[in-house]
Structure 1
């Protein structure tokens, strides 16, 4: 039976560090809060689920050494950065050109096909196309491993899963607070337009930052 979790002396600091890191503003948080603001709590939760799934793929890649190979290939890293930046610009464009929420709900009631899977896939793509997350996993997870070499892969996967569970819980709390605030504050059309522009600008700025930073 492989040793899936490290000793408490490492596990507790790992959990605390994971919570702190998941509370740090970034592309994932901006995307989830944008979905919550413009499409409601359910959309935010689905987007967070997609991001968690994408992050687990990064953790798996880290455990298997794929991220290490990516880190040594400048061409692969640059290609993934550009793809991620383009996707973020696309998301920003969709936010700016999206219809008001009540119109979206009217369209959804006429459609028999659920669109939840699209939101999950968008969230996963937002995470997967950010190569820095893969490199972060590669650098962060091994610091808390105390398993024997033959069990290191399993413990890395377990820590990656725990990190993403903690991250999803953090997202649920933030999404709930954001949803409550949006419900209580009935913003005017002008304010809603301003919020869309602010969110799109943040995502666009992050796309530029991803593209022009070297590490």
Structure 2
């Protein structure tokens, strides 16, 4: 019963964190709108994989080392900020794509592994994710907690992220919806880019204690 209560706590807290708009949401949204549903889903898979990696190193204690090392934490913070700003600038400089009557959407392609990498790096290079997992698991996991149970906790967070962002990708890439926003999709991409740049700068100036 105690194990179920701990798992439920992780589920609820993680669900709230996942559905709160942030870098992961913006990156998935961008991939789905700019490229395709498949690209959005692969980005979501990357986010899920990133969460699984965060959970793994937090459970084995590396997260505590990162959070207490000013050098490591700041390096991660600046890398994450630079990555978000880079993706954001790419969106801000996008050019309008004019679709003909026979073309339903812009012909912009991206390899699955590239879309996956966008989600993975965006998630891994976010130091706030490190602090989130560290704070969550240090409150829940005890030395006596079986490794299998710890793995279940980590998988719960990763699966939640994968499920939610896959839903985002599927919904936003619905053809009817994409057709409606096609005429101003370049402006929407620029808005997404501006949000990513803002998130990048916010991450860059954020204190570790936030």
So what's the TM-score if we normalise by structure 1? 0.83
| 2:144 pairs with 1:140 | no
- Does residue 177 of structure 2 align to residue 182 of structure 1? yes
- Contact 2:33/2:178 (CA < 8 Å) preserved in 1? no
Per-residue displacement from partner, 1:53-110 (whole Å, max 9, x unpaired)? 11111111101111100111111111111111111111112223456463325xx7xx
Report the RMSD for the aligned CA atoms in angstroms. 2.1
Q: Identify which range, 155-164 or 9-18, moves more after superposition.
A: 9-18
In structure 2, distance between residues paired with 1:197 and 1:22: 23
Distance in 2 of aligned mates of 1:6 and 1:22: 24
> In the TM superposition, what are the counterparts of 1:34-49 in structure 2 within 5 Å?
34-49=30-45
Q: In the superposition, relative to structure 1, how do residues 199 and 20 fare at CA in structure 2: closer, same or farther (>3 Å)? A: same
Is residue 161 of structure 2 the alignment partner of residue 157 of structure 1?
no
Q: Mapping of 1:3-152 within 5 angstroms?
A: 7-98=3-94, 100=97, 102-105=106-109, 115-145=111-141, 149-151=143-145
Structure 1 or 2: more helix by fraction: 1
CA–CA distance in structure 1, aligned partners of residues 118 and 69 of structure 2: 26
Unaligned runs of 5+ in 2: 98-104
State the shift of 1:152 in Å.
5.2
Q: Distance in 2 between matches of 1:7 and 1:166?
A: 19
In structure 2, do the counterparts of structure 1 residues 8 and 150 end up closer, same or farther at CA, with 3 Å as the change threshold? closer
Aligned to 2:101: none
**Distance in 1 (alpha carbons) for counterparts of 2:49 and 2:173:** 22
Cα pair distance change 1:176/1:39, threshold 3 Å: same
May I ask how many residue pairs the two structures share in their alignment? Answer: 199
Post-superposition shift, 1:10? 2.6
Residue of 182, 188, 196 corresponding to 1:195: 188
Q: Could you tell me which residue of structure 2 aligns to residue 173 of structure 1?
A: 167
